[in-house]
Structure 1
Amino acid sequence: MSQQTPDEIQADIERQREQLASTVDQLTHKLDVKAQTKQRVATAKDRATTDEGKPVPEIYGAVAGAALALLIILVRSRR
């Protein structure tokens, strides 16, 4: 087994600290529910709207389809 010099040991310790800090940052991000929720809302909003902020045309069809399905369910449940 080879002996490490003090400089090599110090470099190894520094490398391990950086890896640990990175791991802690990743875990902190995963556990930050509020930030993740905001990110998901922003992503959903970006997908559902155009650059001008208007709904994407496909959204109209999806909303109309959902409304029609709800109407059918309501009418059938009253029978």
Structure 2
Amino acid sequence: MSTNGTTPQQLESDIERQREELAATVNQLQAKVDVKARTQHKAAELKADIKDRATTATGKPRPDLTVAAVAALALVVGLVAWRRRR
């Protein structure tokens, strides 16, 4: 037994616990500075979010967005045709 009332086993378990905490902290810091991985993760989240918003529950494109895309395409084609005639 040591002078402060702890046994060698208690000291070893405290050291092991502190090592685990330090390893977790190092891993968190490493993840924070890994810009490439954070960017890829954020891109995957955004892609999934866009897919969820653009499709119905069955996975088919939302009809309102399809109509809007066709209308926008028709507008662009109309503008190009109008500009060529002038």
TM-score by length of 1: 0.58
Structure 1 segments (4+ residues) deviating >2 Å: 6-17, 25-29, 35-43
Which is bigger in relative contact order (C-alpha 8 A, separation at least 6)?
A: 1
Flag the structure with larger Rg: 2
What is the aligned length?
72
1:73 aligns with 2:79: yes
Q: CA deviation at 1:59?
A: 0.7
Unmatched segments (≥5 aa) in structure 1: 1-5
Identity across aligned pairs (percent)?
Answer: 24
Report the equivalent of 2:4: none
State TM-score, norm by structure 2. 0.55
Gaps of 5+ in 2: 1-10
